[in-house]
Amino acid sequence: MADSDPGDRNYDNMLKMLSDLNKDLEKLLEEMEKISVQATWMAYDMVVIRTNPTLADSMRRLEDAFFNCKEEM
């Protein structure tokens, strides 16, 4: 049996490389979407905190209470 044509192997390698590149780009896109959502929520939280400064104090007290409970456990 004859080996497959080198052109066929190059074509197969190119298809695999493109498939791998596509998968990598999809993963990167998912990560960028997650980062975008996190940045949006951070911006939203900053607006809420700036418009309601007592919220920051309440959050700080809640966080302190959480850490106290965590220490007790």
What average pLDDT does range 2-26 have in this prediction?
Answer: 87
pLDDT value at 1 more than 80:
no
Given pLDDT bands bounded at 50, 70 and 90, which one contains residue 3? low
For tokens 């400064």, the residue is 53
Residue 31 has which token pair? 């990560």
Q: Are 55 and 49 in contact, with CB atoms under 8 Å apart?
A: yes
Alpha-carbon distance of 5 to 11, in angstroms, equals 10
Give the Cβ contact number of residue 49 at 10 Å: 13
For tokens 């809640």, the residue is 62
Whether the predicted model's global pTM rises above the 0.85 cut: no
Instruction: Give the total residue count for the chain.
Output: 73
pLDDT value at 2 more than 60:
no
The 10s digit of each residue's pLDDT in 21-73 is: 999 999 999 999 999 999 999 888 888 777 777 877 888 888 899 888 878 87
